[in-house]
Structure 1
Amino acid sequence: MASQLNRSEPCKADLRPLLHALTREDDGAAANAHLTAGRPIYYGTAGTPPGHAVKEYPDGRRELVRFDHLGEHRVRDAA
């Protein structure tokens, strides 16, 4: 019997270790290039809740977002 994926639940994975590994040697050039091209960037900080990310827009606005099988969901403005 195959297990069923509960698609109504948000992702609860703690993304901080992955984000840390991906950005460990990052000098910010790629993020700056995305912002300069008019695209948002995603990142986490020590205060970002597990399963969430900060989405920063080129104009400086920041939002806390989470992801699930339906895509990205805005949670609130980020401080």
Structure 2
Amino acid sequence: MATRLIKPTPVDVDLWPILEAALRQDDGSVARAHLAAGRAIYYSEDDTPRDTVIKEHPDGRRELVRFDIQGEHRIRDLA
């Protein structure tokens, strides 16, 4: 006997207010933990060019990168 899958009902939820509230409560502890564990973090600042993000390495190096279907592309080093 085949199992019949039931399509879930769409939910009208605006996620932006939820995400914005979470960001306001961010104290940076998760980012610091990632860096301490030897992993890079990604973020943007007010002056970060459109379609790019800042990649910060555990050693403090920062790069401007962008992503596309082929993956991550380094644009340039940041001071």
Q: Normalising by structure 1, report the TM-score.
A: 0.70
Ranges in structure 2 where 5+ consecutive residues have no aligned partner? 1-15
2:57 & 2:75 partners in 1: Cα distance?
Answer: 15
2:23 & 2:73 partners in 1: Cα distance?
Answer: 23
CA deviation after TM superposition for structure 1 residue 47, in Å: 1.0
Letter of the aligned partner of 2:75 in structure 1? V
Determine the structure 2 residue equivalent to 1:59: 59
Query: Whose radius of gyration is greater, 1 or 2?
Result: 2
Aligned residues: 61
2:75 & 2:23 partners in 1: Cα distance?
Answer: 24
Determine the structure 2 residue equivalent to 1:9: none
1:48 & 1:63 partners in 2: Cα distance?
Answer: 11
Q: What is the percent sequence identity of the aligned residues?
A: 59
Look up the SS of the partner of 2:55 in the other structure: strand
Point out 4+ residue stretches in structure 1 off by more than 4 angstroms.
none
Ranges in structure 1 where 5+ consecutive residues have no aligned partner? 1-16
**CA RMSD in angstroms, aligned pairs only:** 1.9
Look up the SS of the partner of 1:23 in the other structure: helix
Higher relative contact order structure (alpha carbons within 8 Å, sequence separation ≥ 6): 1
